Every structure is written in C-alpha cells, then in structure tokens.
Structure 1
Amino acid sequence: MINLNIAILGATGTTGRYIVDELLASEHAVHVTALVRASSADKPEVQDLKARGVAIQLIDLQGSIEDMTKALEGQEVVIAILPIAATIDQIPLATAAKKAGVKRFIPTMFAPVAPPKGLSTLRDTKEDVLNHIRRLQLPYTIIDVGWWYQLTLPKLPSGRIDKAVSGLGERIHGDGNVLSAFTHNRDVGRYVVRATLDPRTLNKFVFIYSEMLTRVDIGWIGPDLPSDPVHWIC
C-alpha cells in the first residue's frame, strides 16, 4: 500500500480532471491537493473537488519563491498541467518544489514525442523547463503521450460531427499506412497515475498510448457512411 501526498496544478482542466478521478479511485492511500489561484478558489469546479475530498491550496505562480515553497510543503509529488502560454511558469514552480523537498516533479509534457530542440517552439520551451529541473537535481518523470483521438476525427461533408472535429484530422501524410500512437484523454489520466505510483519511472521518460493506428484505419467511418464519405487532404 502506497501512502503519498500528491499536488496537482491544473486539476480542473480536462486532463487534470481525469488524473484526479484516477487518483481518488486508487486503492492506495493517496492524498490529493489541488493547487489553485486565489481568484479561482470559489469557482464551482474547485468547490466540486473540495466536496470530493480534494484539499485546496492557494498558489500564485507569479508570486515569490518563498510563498510557493510554503504552498508545496508536505507534498511528495507535484503534477503540473498548464496551458501553453504558462509553460515557462514551471521554472519557478520547480525551484519552489526543490526547496519544499518534493520527491517527484511531473512537468507539463503530455504531448506527442518530438526532438528536444529545433522543431517545435512549444517543445523547445518544455525542454527549457526540463533542463532547469535537471540543474536543480529535482527528481522527475517525463510523460509523453500519443496523438489525441479527440483531434483525429475527419470532417464529413454533411457536417454531422462538426462539434467533435478539431480541423486537424483531415490531412494524410504519404499513403496513410504508417502506424502512429493514439491516446484518449481518459487513458492519459489512468496511465499518468500508474507512472506516478511506480518507483521505476523516477528520472525516466515514459511514453503512454492507447493503441497504434494508421490514418487509413481512422477513416473507417467513410465506408460505413457511403453517403457521407471522408475527404482526406494529402
């Protein structure tokens, strides 16, 4: 039986909610704290977490390192799930985590694998955060995931599934028969918790995915709806 204090920054977001759900359902003695801004403390989604037994701790990523350190005291694991614009804010958060004695820091990755530098500006920033974590000698786990099912649905001429279409699912590279890893958001929550509770993943990179598919595989909906065929962009 594992007894662990875990703080989550971004617990009310889509990915964060799935992680919280899995932590609360865990057979282990996991004590979950949501790190939230003071301006968000009274929001319904935060109050819902509180009602489910999640502790609420106020934190200001723009505040002092000392205040952030106090907010993280007693936490053994910190999981950060931040929007793109706030990715760099993990640098002071990691510094505070080190000072607070956090034993594992899981920064915002949760995206398809990419080279460390030179291809994706967002990945470049995430690598800057990781390099800072390493300089601090702060224990970490890096979790990359497959491409999201939620961004994969192709548009149909009828528009019947437009609400679920991201606009990123119509393009095929090559002949569409190359296998790629895909992940459902719910699975991210499940596997992040497994990685967090597994001592073998400390200071390691972990890649999680639900299944391997090709772009042609994803087009199964086309033949099933001959009156509403998928139009791929090649």
Structure 2
Amino acid sequence: MEKSKVLVVGGTGFVGRRIVVASLALGYPTFVLMRPEISLDVDKVQALLSFKAQGARLVEASLDDRARLVAAVRQVDVVVSALSGTHHRSQTVLLQHKLVEAIKEAGNIKRFIPSEFGTDPSRMGHALEPGRVIFEEKMELRRAIEAAKIPHTYISANCFAAYFCPNLAQMGTLLPPKDKVRVYGDGNVKVIFVDEDDVATYTIKSLDDPRTLNKTIYLRPPENILTQNELIAKWEKLSGNVIEKIYIPVDEWLQ
C-alpha cells in the first residue's frame, strides 16, 4: 500500500522533531511546514536543513496566511500538528484552530492528528485549576475537528519520560536529586511513562491504519507503568545510593 504524504506542523519542537524523524525512518513522504519566524532561530533552521538532507520537503507557509496554509495542506494526505505548548497557551490554541480551518477548506486530508500527546482531555473533567483550562481548550479543539468532519486520530501518551523520569517525578526540575526526593501523597499512584521517540513512532504508524480512524490511541507499555516509589527504587538500585524521602501529604500538595 502506498504510504500517505505527511505534513508535520511544529516539526522543530520537542515532539515535532521526533515525529519528522519517525516519518522519514518509516518511509513516509514527509513535508515540514517552515514558518517565517523560524528563520530567526539558528537551532530550528539547522534542524530544518537536517530534515531536508534526510529527504524531507520544506514547505513555506504561515499559520496566519490562510491561502498559503491551505495550499500547503493540499500537497499532502495527512497533517500532524506538534505545535509546542511552550507558546503562550491561548496563542497555541488559536494557531491550532487556524490549522483546522485550513484543513476544512482544503478538503483533501485523510487524517489529522492534533497536538495533544499527553493525558486524554476527555477524561480530565475533574482536573483542578489552573491545569483544567488546558484540557478544556483541547476539548474545544476536538469539537471543532469533529464539527468540521475532519478524519482524525488522538494520541494519548500520558507522561513524557524525559520530563518525569530523570527527576524522579518531582515538579520544578529536570535533574535527578542528589540526597532528598519529594514524594507526593503516599507515592503509590500508578503513572505511565512513555519514551518520546516511541510516541513519535506510534503516531506515524497510526496514520494509514483503518483501526485508528476517528479513535483515541492510548500508549500504555506495561513495564512503563510505575509508582513514584517504584521509580525512586529503580534509581536507588542504579545509583547505589539511598535517597531520603520527604512525603508531602495530599492536602498540602494540592495547596
């Protein structure tokens, strides 16, 4: 079966780079949207040139230029959005809605994957502020996609390993603790940690699979489902050091 042509939007970001690499590695004709503002970022320009050297096609278009964006979308069969959450949140949401409108106008896309890749927002109605608004905005985008009758797949990858494993699931740092670790609650809640390269690979593998059409894919590797206590124990075994645990009660943590 001929593989779909894939356009990656946000291809120079943390997840986007991995999606571009996975798409190329799996033999998909890969297009990367090259936005005007990227030309001022040396790191991103170098990433784009690297993708081009590996066979990707760079497509110049702005998310604020509807005509050029629609023209870019019409060159492919599938659009994968990896627009980064490091933007101001409302700006990222606005950009994704512009992308949805362009896909609707183009009318040729066989599959759209919006930029989610975390916890399934449809299951997060109980979330507390300020985090809750993120899930509500993702659900608004889903409703826009479905109202436009755009074929889609949602990817739920839970917790990125790079953000939650090296720091032993502590907030506010990405580095491993040297002698003390904060344990939230009793530390026995199960968490699903997923390698970002695996997220990208499964995302690309889903594109032409009829089983994933208009569905949510949950990435849940059994051996990657660990409590914070289990994660700490693995680190202690690897490092040969016992770390002091500072338990933070649930009420105090929520405060």
TM-score, length basis structure 1: 0.85
Task: Give the total of aligned pairs.
Answer: 222
User: Distance between the aligned counterparts of 1:227 and 1:213, measured in 2?
Assistant: 20
Paired residue type of 2:135: R
Task: Show the counterpart of 2:76.
Answer: 75
Task: Show the counterpart of 2:155.
Answer: 143
Task: Show the counterpart of 1:34.
Answer: 32
Paired residue type of 2:36: A
Matched, 1:231 2:233: no
Task: Report the 3-state secondary structure (helix = DSSP H, G, I; strand = E; otherwise coil) of the residue aligned with 1:231.
Answer: strand
Matched, 1:107 2:114: yes
CA deviation vs aligned residue, 1:146-193 (integer Å, no higher than 9, x gap)? 2122222337xxxxxx76359xxx553432223221111111111111
1:171/1:188 CA distance change after superposition, 3 Å: farther
Paired residue type of 2:162: Q
1:58/1:182 CA distance change after superposition, 3 Å: same
On the 8 A contact 1:146/1:208 being kept in 2, the answer is yes
Task: Show the counterpart of 1:21.
Answer: 21
After superposing on structure 2, the runs of 4+ consecutive aligned residues of structure 1 that deviate more than 4 Å are 223-228
- Of 203, 212, 228, 1:201 maps to 212
User: Distance between the aligned counterparts of 2:115 and 2:207, measured in 1?
Assistant: 14
The Cα shift of 1:219 comes to: 0.5
The Cα shift of 1:231 comes to: 3.3
User: Distance between the aligned counterparts of 2:37 and 2:187, measured in 1?
Assistant: 46
Paired residue type of 2:31: T
Task: Report the 3-state secondary structure (helix = DSSP H, G, I; strand = E; otherwise coil) of the residue aligned with 2:4.
Answer: strand
User: Distance between the aligned counterparts of 1:184 and 1:232, measured in 2?
Assistant: 27
**1:157-196 alignment runs, 5 A limit:** 164-165=175-176, 170-196=181-207
1:222/1:107 CA distance change after superposition, 3 Å: same
On the 8 A contact 1:141/1:205 being kept in 2, the answer is yes
- Of 215, 219, 223, 2:232 maps to 219
Task: Report the 3-state secondary structure (helix = DSSP H, G, I; strand = E; otherwise coil) of the residue aligned with 1:68.
Answer: helix
User: Distance between the aligned counterparts of 1:142 and 1:15, measured in 2?
Assistant: 15
Task: Show the counterpart of 1:129.
Answer: 141
User: Distance between the aligned counterparts of 1:3 and 1:222, measured in 2?
Assistant: 45
Task: Show the counterpart of 2:252.
Answer: none
On the 8 A contact 2:3/2:208 being kept in 1, the answer is no
Task: Report the 3-state secondary structure (helix = DSSP H, G, I; strand = E; otherwise coil) of the residue aligned with 1:24.
Answer: helix
Paired residue type of 1:78: V
Identity %: 25
Paired residue type of 1:20: V
CA deviation vs aligned residue, 1:18-62 (integer Å, no higher than 9, x gap)? 112221121x5x210001212325821111111111001112112
On the 8 A contact 2:163/2:174 being kept in 1, the answer is no
Paired residue type of 1:90: Q
Task: Show the counterpart of 1:159.
Answer: none
The Cα shift of 1:232 comes to: 4.0
**1:49-68 alignment runs, 5 A limit:** 49-63=51-65, 65-68=66-69
After superposition, the CA RMSD in angstroms is 2.4
The Cα shift of 1:93 comes to: 0.7
